[in-house]
Amino acid sequence: MATSVASRRLSASERLRRSLNNGRVTAALILLPPALILFTLFVMLPLGESVYYAFFNWNGYGTPTDYVGMENFQRIAGHSVFQKAVTNTLKIVAISLFLQMPLALLLALLIYRKTPTNALFRLIFFVPYILAEVAAGLIWSFVFDGNYGVTASIAQSMGVESFFILADRDWAFVAVMTVIVWKYFGFHMMIYIAALQSVPEDLIEAARIEGAKRHQIVRYVQIPQIKHALVVSAFFAIIGALQVFDIIIPLTNGGPSNQTHTIVTYLYTFGLTRLNIGFGSAVGVILFIAAITVAVFYQRFFMNRSET
Amino acid sequence: MRHSVATAALLIGVAGANAAMAQTEINVLRVAVNDEQEAYYEEIAQAYEEQNDGVTVTFEYIANEAYKSKLPTLLQSDARPDIFYSWGGQTLVEQANAGFLQGISDMLPEEMTGTIPEAGLNAYTVDGNLYGLPLYATEVVFWTNTALTEEAGVDIDQIETWEDFLGAVQTLKDASVTPIIAGGQDKWPLHFYWSYLALREGGPDVVSDAMAGENGGFESEAFVEAGKEFQKLTDMEPFQSGFMGTTYETASGMFADGEGAFHLMGDWDYLPMRERSTSGEGLPDEQLAIFSFPVLADPVSEGGEGATLGGINGWAVSQSAEPEAVDFLAFMLSEENQRKAAEQELFIPIVEGTGDALSNPFYQQVSEDITNSSYHQIFLDQFLGASVGATVNDISADLAQDAITPEEAAAQVQEAWDFR
């Protein structure tokens, strides 16, 4: 602050000379271009291109010529599979916020103290997160397989007819959400553990001396103290839900008959594999706007408030 | 520093010299195949190189799905292949219209086109220009486990009409035998039913008429009736439980394990289904039979009873290919090489007069079926292009689960066709 006030009184050339001397501008001149070029080339340019393609009916061959205006967007809005994909994505957001995060918090509260047993449990709970998404999807597709998988063995040992949850239009997405919770709760748990460990012991001690019960300590001391971690993890959960893709492809590939798509698998299936590049670009634009909106609003309404 | 610059210059020089005496390179891109087929192509490439000095032929393989999504980008780059694998149909039309293909009619040896059946050439012709050549034909048939049908008292020789078939399914169900195995998760195995029924209902021109927008396009009576007939079957719950979670590969293994009586699948499944069975052996030949898709007693229009559904797969020639590439293509499809493929039972060759080299009874029968076919319809999911084709697969799966009505199914295909 002080420097900017001081520099206001100096002439422009003097200001430039000074800033060159203190190395800031030089550093910016040297360090900025590579990042800026990469960002422009691989983020901004494709983004602009996909906005452009979104207004064409284009199969990816040659250059787009068939301008269709808003028709791609109209088709997306009217497509029952897209509506299903949006509902599914919202379901993932809901399950992440109201099941995964409480579960992660509960486990974090149980094992946040540094003991060897806790370290072991932390590792166990964190393993699913380390696994590659595709591998996790494949593993669970074997688990759910009613012919040869774990489900088949369980059904057989219980003497009941095997069930095929991934083939069931109503239940397949429940299976997908189970896998998602299993895969990511460890990540949120780790965030909470880190936060809980930084809650001052004496605060908890003081509360206890005042006669607070365990659940009261959690409710009135620990959770308020780790609020920033909760806010950040909820942000990851929402943005993550918008991006779910690589678990679903090996698990159900969007099926049975397009009941388990998310917005991204919808984009991939209906835009890329069917070579409707214009249509797919339009889905991409919608997804981008959704993500940006969520990010901006969340930052404004939750993140700032939690800091003050 | 100077040293490394000199080395670099030297390297560039060497590379340049190499380029100067460069040979003609022919790059062929194919969907991945098994080892026997790779060896077959390798042999052809070597034989050609020996006969033609200064020409090298390179085969490259990409897995099926990746191939389809990569090809559009590849064709627009400098790394485009000279010859690439194709399923014909609308995808080829789109590639030709975008200017990625090369007309080859004038470049082929004169007697060449005479050896290939017209249906095969038509599959690679767009607006009167020939852009490639077919390699082999396939047919979708009902593979049958005769041990199971006999056990249930079903005589497949008596199955003529769709009603007969539905009756057989009922008999099998009554005998507690799973009537049909289907790989529903991949959807395309189910689209065979809808396509075949549409072909039987509407006759050989049903698809081309719909594409031209006649009789209400894909919403014409034939397609709606096809959906209704298909649902007559699916209402009986003829498939193994959980069929919507079964992939084609699993289904083919299950059939070879004897889990169901019928499997509607292409002739190509003969060897793979054995490899996918639990034992690795599958069903013995004497326990296997094939029969053509049943006919309809009362179709919407006549003429569909003799039609077959399958593929006419082959090669397309890209726009920048050298004349040598076309020469190699003709060599690859020579009678001798086609006969070799038949002898090794790699596929059912398309060049006329080479089918007799097949010794496998199933391949012989399919080869005969295709020769006698009144019209060989290419798989709708290939024929109608990537987008409409995938919609046909979608609606077939939805119909099988009773998630949509036959009318909705037809309307969805028409909608996809309008917006392709």
Flag whether A59 is in a domain. no
Residues of A in contact with B386 (CB under 8 A): 59, 273-275
B163 and B99 assigned to the same domain: no
Compute, in degrees rounded to 10, the torsion defined by CA atoms B122, B126, B132, B136. -30
Domain-embedded: residue B344 = yes
Confidence (pTM): 0.82
Phi, psi dihedral angles at B289 (to 5 degrees)? -150, 160
Residue B14 lies in a domain: no
ipTM: 0.76
Residue A39 lies in a domain: no
Q: Are residues B365 and B405 in the same domain?
A: no
Q: Are residues B186 and B254 in the same domain?
A: yes
Question: Does residue B6 lie in a domain region?
Answer: no
Mean pLDDT of chain B: 89
The answer to whether residue A6 scores a pLDDT higher than 90 is no
Q: Has residue A36 been placed in a domain?
A: no
**Statement to judge: residues B102 and B251 lie in one domain:** no
Whether B144 and B114 map to the same domain: the answer is no
What is the full DSSP assignment across A26-62?
Answer: HHHHHHHHHHHHHHIIIIIHHHHHHHHHTTB---SSS
CA distance to partner chain A, nearest, from residue B134 (Å): 23
Residues with Cβ within 8 Å of residue B27, at least 6 apart in sequence: B58, B60, B81, B82, B83
Give yes or no: residues B284 and B149 share one domain: yes
CA distance A256 to chain B (A): 6
Domain assignment of residue B13, yes or no: no
Q: CATH no. for residue B301?
A: 3.40.190.10
At B306-355, the pLDDT tens digits run 899 999 999 999 999 999 999 999 999 999 999 999 998 888 898 888 88
What's the pLDDT tens digit per position in A31-80? Answer: 889 989 999 999 999 999 999 999 999 888 878 888 999 999 999 999 98
**Nearest residue to B373 via CA among B312, B289, B285:** B312
Q: Are residues B83 and B63 part of one domain?
A: yes
**Residue A5 predicted with pLDDT over 60:** no
What pLDDT digit, counting tens, does each position of B85-120 carry?
A: 999 888 899 899 888 999 998 888 878 888 888 888
In A168-302, which residue ranges form alpha helices assigned H by DSSP?
Answer: 172-197, 201-209, 214-217, 223-225, 227-243, 248-251, 263-266, 277-298
The model's pLDDT over B348-399, given as tens digits with 9 standing for 90+, comes to 898 888 888 888 899 999 988 988 888 899 999 889 988 899 999 999 999 9
Q: Which of B75, B86, B185 to mutate to test the interface with A (most CBs of A within 10 A)?
A: B185
Whether residue B12 is contained in a domain is answered as no
Q: Is there a single domain that holds both residue B396 and residue B367?
A: no
| Full residue range of the structural domain in which residue A296 is found | 74-307
CATH of the domain at A270: 1.10.3720.10
B267 with B171, same domain: the answer is: yes
Q: Are residues B305 and B351 in the same domain?
A: no
Give the range among A18-32, A109-123, B167-181, B308-322 with minimum mean pLDDT: A18-32
B350 and B397 co-located in one domain: no
- The answer to whether B420 touches A68, Cβ cutoff 8 Å, is no
Instruction: Give the integer Cα–Cα distance in Å for B212 and B205.
Output: 10
Q: Tell me what the mean pLDDT of segment B146-150 comes to.
A: 96
Tell me if B7 is assigned to some domain.
Answer: no
Cα separation, B165 vs B143, whole angstroms: 13
Nearest to A109 by CA among A185, A184, A197, A181: A197
> Do B239 and B382 share a domain, yes or no?
yes
Domain count along chain B: 2
In a domain, B321, yes or no: yes
Q: Examine residue A119 and state whether it is found in any structural domain, yes or no.
A: yes
Domain count for chain A? 1
Distance CA B332, CA B330 (A): 5
Residue B70's domain comprises: 24-137+311-375
Burial of B69 (0-12, 13-18, 19+ CB in 10 A): middle
Q: From chain A, which residues contact B within 8 Å (Cβ)?
A: 57, 59-62, 71, 75, 144-147, 161-169, 252-253, 255-258, 269, 272-276
Q: Does B17 reside within a domain?
A: no
Residue A131: inside a domain: yes
